[in-house]
Structure 1
């Protein structure tokens, strides 16, 4: 048996901030009280620190298997834990694509051996693998991923009969990437006709346009309503899309939910001039108006969770010309610090941050005993110092790709300690590689 006592923490949980102690035993929160006088194997004095539930990131691309020159489960879970993310859900556009139950299990086997964070993996849908999709176990698989727009790895599902079958028969939550392919291809052809090889990154949000996003998202919503599908739309990037979602019913009752990502809450199209391909994502970073509307939708409940879409590529890949450079970038290490900057700026409260990165993700996916600071729950926790600045540079970037869109930015807060399933996995700048990640389970 192992025990940890956290003393004098400002605990941010379920809409409140309280001075509390926590006693952790065998990986779980055994007791929460104003003062706890117990002996423990390890004591953490959290005076001056805030204690949050560890972030649950419902959209990452850790690139294993097949793309491990960019990243792998071990390296990216290290970056996650160092950033206060204690659980992740990883996407199927690896190589080979995760389109069979056997390939899905292969990823779980890798994570069991190498992940420092808790993990789950999406089953991939294609135009022709419905039989495999229907075998997905809702109890221990986070969901089914449908690319309704092409992106890295091109798993586009564009057959109408296949989409109807997936939406009507899926045994669990469907998560979608929504961009209308015909609109994107028409826009791309028009820009190539006009500019040839000189198409530039500034044109990215015009090619992968707001209209392309809305057409696809509205189609997914219509399909879900028709079939009563449990639908979760990923990385909303436009103001217009936010109106597709409801905010007047409790999250537990919603059949259609939505996610915002760090980059769409932070950057705008004005940043392409300085960041270039390093902020090239699908869907594209769009206008400041879109960015502000997405944040408002997070605050008012039209958008339910915040995630990263962490998707590393090498520097060499990113420094190619716009048309050749892949979309995606590393975010999981600095997601919490970016959100804490928004708190510092008065755009978000600590309580809202916790709700959108932990509580709601747990509720939305029906995760078993995680995402809240409660007695009996797994101790997935992060302690942050809101008054300790932290500058991102190449020496402290842990993602295998070795770069960050936040490079040279000084965040207002620092991650001091991260606990994963009751094990201290990161402490004062050092990783403690205990291999503490567990497979997530779901109350379905």
Structure 2
């Protein structure tokens, strides 16, 4: 039996334009987009007057902590928060316990998600210094890509053997995503500050320890290697103005072999916020200066940076309350990323069309995600309605993350997500979830 939903009178944002219209969904797919679609029997109608309709965000970098770290988060809790935040698809990282560094361990994560994820999902295969043979078995059609840590964000997933690194870059045609921070620089800086402060290093030194130099050294080296080997490289979470000049904007996205991402926290916070927020905004790479933030925005707007993501990485408050050297880096963001970007739309920093391009269209293009990321007939109905005139404040009472906190606590947003459709199903409706239906494994046109 066909299940039909008609979204009427929406301000539809898609492919650099905004137009008022209706969208008809049948089962999983968008079947018609028009200025006006007449209402027929057995169709559920949603009046979207005054609201924006955007494609669901595709978040290309999250850490949902399952398996092995589920005291912090799990796929069910974090995908639920993501859907409430307008994220309909996510790509999760391999640094769980055990790490997803064999095909069997990778498939174990897909199996968990098939039963528990509210959003559509994919997982990256983790490269190490000694798993090239296993890495090359990765199926490009149903796995998002390869993830390499070139800085020790996650202990023994550090790939620091240059011969191995070149072999990985030379051997796979799959998209390689990298975390770029130079390990030797970070260790040297850490020892210097530990000598002065012991373990209780003031947070303001975090961006000096994990410095511009550490980021630039690593990202420039990765880019040089990609150019040498012809690898398809995607550089995660840029945090410095200097790094943005390593990337091109003089060719179409589809022709780029080297692409870049920026995360919401690097677009929102600066080092001035450490005094108030402390370890709650301790990320790797570090939140840096106002100049860096402005440089990241400039590069995002002129298309040197291609994607906005979250790097959602929850930890418990108890863990975060440790001294500097023991407090883990990362924070929860999926529930608030889209509304945070919409706040920057209100401030006139970015247009809605550009925001949708960076959060929805470009991840679909870069990863070649099948039939998602756009509002198009024949595409999956992954859709989000946003009310641009509904104020709300982030508080403990409305946070959905398992860790129970947010770096945005106390922030008043002036836009609110009211409805989220995943594969044509209304999963989130003004605070209420349909918990019966789960997301699908993402497929890729490769």
Which category of TM-score, normalised to the shorter sequence, fits these structures?
Answer: over 0.9
**Equivalent residue, structure 2, for 1:55:** 57
Query: Aligned ranges for residues 354-433 of structure 1 at < 5 Å?
Result: 354-433=356-435
* Counterpart contact for 1:423–1:436, Cα < 8 Å: no
Tell me, yes or no, if structure 1 residue 441 matches structure 2 residue 446.
no
**Equivalent residue, structure 1, for 2:18:** 17
**Equivalent residue, structure 1, for 2:44:** 42
Tell me, yes or no, if structure 1 residue 202 matches structure 2 residue 219.
no
**Equivalent residue, structure 2, for 1:29:** 30
In the alignment of these two chains, the number of paired residues is 444
**Equivalent residue, structure 1, for 2:194:** 192
Specify the SS of the correspondent of 1:87.
Answer: strand
1:153 deviates by 4.8
1:124 deviates by 0.3
* Counterpart contact for 1:93–1:153, Cα < 8 Å: no
1:200 deviates by 1.5
CA distance in 1, matches of 2:15, 2:277: 37
Gaps of 5+ in 2: none
**Equivalent residue, structure 1, for 2:9:** 8
CA distance in 1, matches of 2:267, 2:172: 31
**Equivalent residue, structure 1, for 2:146:** 144
Specify the SS of the correspondent of 1:277.
Answer: helix
**Equivalent residue, structure 1, for 2:294:** 292
* Counterpart contact for 1:217–1:233, Cα < 8 Å: yes
CA distance in 2, matches of 1:145, 1:398: 27
CA distance in 1, matches of 2:198, 2:23: 61
**Equivalent residue, structure 2, for 1:227:** 229
* Counterpart contact for 2:173–2:232, Cα < 8 Å: no
Give the TM-score, by structure 2 length: 0.99
Specify the SS of the correspondent of 2:100.
Answer: coil
Q: Deviations over 1:133-153 (max 9, x none)?
A: 000010000000000001135
CA distance in 1, matches of 2:220, 2:334: 28
Q: Deviations over 1:209-248 (max 9, x none)?
A: 0000000000000010000000000000000000000001
1:331 equivalent among 327, 330, 333: 333
Gaps of 5+ in 1: none
Give the TM-score, by structure 1 length: 0.99
Q: CA RMSD in A?
A: 0.8
Q: Deviations over 1:167-218 (max 9, x none)?
A: 1012300000000000000000111112223312111000000000000000
1:323 deviates by 1.2
Q: Deviations over 1:76-98 (max 9, x none)?
A: 00000000000000000000111
* Counterpart contact for 1:140–1:440, Cα < 8 Å: yes
Q: Following TM superposition, where does structure 1 have runs of at least 4 consecutive aligned residues deviating by more than 4 angstroms?
A: none
**Equivalent residue, structure 2, for 1:247:** 249
Tell me, yes or no, if structure 1 residue 313 matches structure 2 residue 311.
no
